[in-house]
Amino acid sequence: MDISFENVDYIYQPNSPFQFQALKNLSFEIKSGEFVAIVGHTGSGKSTVIQHLNGLLRPTHGKTKIGDFTLTSDHKPKDMKSLREQVGIVFQYPEHQLFEETVEKDISFGPANFGVATEQIKERVKTSIEAVGISTDLLNRSPFELSGGQMRRVAIAGVLAVEPKVLVLDEPTAGLDPKGRKEIMNMFYRLHKEKGLTTILVTHHMEDALKFSDKVIVLEKGTKYLEGSVQEVFSNQARLNKVQLDIPEILTVVKEINNRFGLSIDYQGQSLDELAVQVSVGLKGLKKHE
């Protein structure tokens, strides 16, 4: 589904002393099938943007379009449920939304609400729990007996079981150990590719933005600060530093190596081993010249 924001303002608690404008004249487009990273300093409005994607919030001014659904301050689509079925959101700390007696029931909750047939739900529970890397033995356990990391995975499975076309992830790996983070991000990326999802990832990890996304949007104080391909955005170190962000460490390393040894290696998602080979080949080449 194509997504677009047209001059969106969003004001929290309007006409009160607590009034706060969280989004200002924000416009951008996301094409169907893209993997987009939204980054920005804390409080820059990332979560606010995300809540517009399934109609939890509607713009105070301006317009949002998600597929065929158009939302403005005075127009909300009749079939909100269908919008929410197609746009799955994994919120920050999704484990806080668990409530059922068993893991299986909790994962079934979403699909059941959207009217999926019972046999099909069983099927989906199985595929989604396998996708998040949890053994099916846990299906009959209470979600509250699980570890924090397992709870997170169960909550994510609950969103995947709805089989959305657009997957929205609000810092899905915050507070996980490095291995868990890697596994979960790789899982999301695999799903993105396999199912042709449109994926929107909010993250503080520039590494993840670099590794997975086609496009990066940088927010600052509710406005769009930078937008472009990964290469474009991350070539702007000075501008990123200005808003308390930085380029991914790997890019700093490559840049430093190039500077120090007069090489011109281009980073295009190579693994560390491949980079090492490139560096050594480059260095040998230099020696021969001398």
Partner 1 sequence: MNSAFIIGQYIPGESFIHRLDPRTKISLIFFFVIFVFFANSVLSYALLTIFSFLVALSTKIKPSFIIKGLTPVWFLIIFTFTIHLIVTQEGEVLYRILGFPIYSGALIQGFSISLRFFLLILFTSLLTLTTTPIEITDAIESLLNPLKKIRLPVHELALMMSISLRFIPTLMQETDKISKAQASRGVDFRSGSLKSRVEAVIPLLVPLFISAFKRAEELAMAMEARGYRGGEGRTKLRELKIRKLDYLAMILFSLVIAGMFLLRK
Ligand X SMILES: Nc1ncnc2c1ncn2[C@@H]1O[C@H](COP(=O)(O)OP(=O)(O)OP(=O)(O)O)[C@@H](O)[C@H]1O
List residues near partner 1 by CB under 8 A: 13-18, 51, 54, 56, 81, 84-85, 87-89, 91, 94, 96-99, 109-110, 113-114, 144, 158-159, 162
HSE-CB for 104 with a 13 A CA cutoff: 12
Q: Interface residues for ligand X in 13-42 (CB under 6 A)?
A: 13, 18, 20, 22, 40, 42
Burial class from Cβ neighbours inside 10 Å (0-12, 13-18, 19+) for residue 168 reads buried
Kindly state whether residue 51 participates in binding Mg ion, applying the rule CB under 5 A: no
CA distances (Å), origin 260, targets 13, 252, 277, 280? 53, 12, 17, 14
113, interface contact from partner 1, ligand X, Mg ion, none, CB < 5-8 Å by kind: partner 1
For ligand X, the closer of residues 20 and 144 by Cβ is 20
Q: Are 206 and 234 in contact (CB under 8 A)?
A: yes
Residue choice 3, 26, 35, 46 for contact with ligand X (CB under 6 A): 46
> Contacting ligand X (CB under 6 A), which of 8, 30, 45, 167?
45
Residue (3 or 50) nearer to ligand X, CB: 50
Output the smallest distance, CB 128 to partner 1, in A: 13
Tokens of 126: 């199985």
Cβ at position 18, least distance to partner 1 in Å: 7
Q: Which residues of 132-155 are buried (b: 16+ CB within 10 A; e: fewer)?
A: bbbeeebbeeebeebeebbbbbbb
Cα 221 off chain centre by? 19
Burial zone of 10 (CB within 10 Å; 0-12 exposed, 13-18 middle, 19+ buried): buried
User: How far apart are CB 215 and partner 1 at their closest, in Å?
Assistant: 24
Q: Which of 35, 80, 62, 82 is nearest to 214 (CA)?
A: 35
Which residue lies nearer to Mg ion by CB, 85 or 171? Answer: 171
Instruction: Provide the minimum distance between the beta carbon of 244 and ligand X in the complex, in angstroms, as a whole number.
Output: 11
Residue 159 contact among Mg ion, ligand X, partner 1, none, beta carbon within 5 to 8 Å by kind: partner 1
Query: Does the protein bind ligand X through residue 172 (CB under 6 A)?
Result: no
Q: Which residues bind ligand X (CB under 6 A)?
A: 12-13, 18, 20, 22, 40, 42-48
